[in-house]
Amino acid sequence: MKSPITIIPGSAPSQSLANNLADNLNKNLPPMLSSAALADVRHFHQSLPHYQPTPLLALPDLADKLGVAGIFVKDESHRFGLGAFKGLGAAYAMATIIARYLKLTDGNLDYTILSAPAVKKQLKQLVFITATDGNHGKGVAWAAALFGAQAIVLMPKGSKPCRAEAIRAINQTTVTITDLNYDDAVRRAAALADQHGYILIQDTGFDGYQEIPNAITRGYTTMTAEAVDQLTDLGISKPSHVFLQAGVGSMAGGVLGYLAHYYQQNPPLTTIVEPDTVACIFKSADQGNGQPLAIGGNPETIMAGLNCGEPNPLTWPILRDYASFYASCPDWVTELGMQTLAHPRGLDPAIVSGESGAVGLGLLVSLCQDQHLAALKQQLKLNHTSTILLFSTEGNTDPAGYDAIIKRADLG
């Protein structure tokens, strides 16, 4: 018997709460996530070698099958050849660090300036360190190579060797799979940074460490800005629903914060989606006291990129105040999403989506097809008028695992 999906309402369960949301904008929504404040982020990304917006793919035949108006998937497997979106945050944060190191102004956040030979000569001595399940570490290693710096990457217990090797292959990056869970690996990286003078470049914040994770979160918003532009080009002024997967919540908080600014009079109904074994955002919301809740131990899930037990305290207030729903999903949900995207219906394009990229689509399919979830579907207001935006945040980062999952698809 399959483990169940659990969904709880958030602080913004209905699009009719525009006035309350507008009030909240003045309280807990960081101005750093407004479109105007993010202009320098997008400019920097556009200056990088081989930058291209990743595709926004429409799935009209699947939408017809599920009884909704439209499904659009932002396919981040094409981002900078890294197979995931994480390079956006790592590169931008690293650029801000380097600019401060060189005493440059924010206006000089341009790769052509930061990659000049005289600049790169000064950066050889810089060592960046991070903890990662794979994609963030790969992004940090790639960004360090772009700027001529060095990188050290720690990975939590249970990390797939293939993901470690993919990081090592970039500029001979030093990679160690530890015996720690993700959150303790972050603490180990921070301690090593203090001990050796490395620069910690981590996608979650803690006391005294805010500027860099905030820069990483801001970096992620470029894919959101691209998606909004792409939807506009298709004649869609806004999606009605957004599903955002969360680990520590930096990506989900950044995307939701951007959308709350952009659509502040009528934002999309947004559901935060997590693995049921490590649903720290879900449990934080469910406890009802407004505070983030940490999950200890060594939880297991195939959604390695979401296997994080402590919410990012910097983005938690956004997820607390602007999410409409929180979903706790067993692994079979993301397997369903991966299979559905790999074996498209009708003329829909196939999308290669990894374990941490497909859970939102798997949840959508489950809600629309499983009669036992009909009440939840109604609660989420999913119907024939719904236009859904999803972010497939990674491609095939574990080839053996991916192949095994999509080959056993039985989609009916």
- Strand 269-275 relative to strand 241-245: parallel, antiparallel, unpaired? parallel
Tell how far CA 231 is from the center of its chain.
19
d(CA 280, CA 28): 20
Helices (H), 237-299: 250-262, 280-287
d(CA 265, CA 165): 46
Q: Looking at 65, 75, 133, 283, which residue is catalytic?
A: 133
d(CA 353, CA 5): 20
Q: Looking at 65, 74, 86, 160, which residue is catalytic?
A: 86
d(CA 159, CA 170): 18
Whether 86 is catalytic is yes
Instruction: Residue 298: name the closest of 180, 160, 389 by CA.
Output: 180
- The dihedral built from the CA positions of residue 304, 306, 309 and 315, taken in this order, carries a sign that is positive
Whether 133 is catalytic is yes
Tell how far CA 222 is from the center of its chain.
12
d(CA 126, CA 263): 40
Catalytic residues: 86, 133
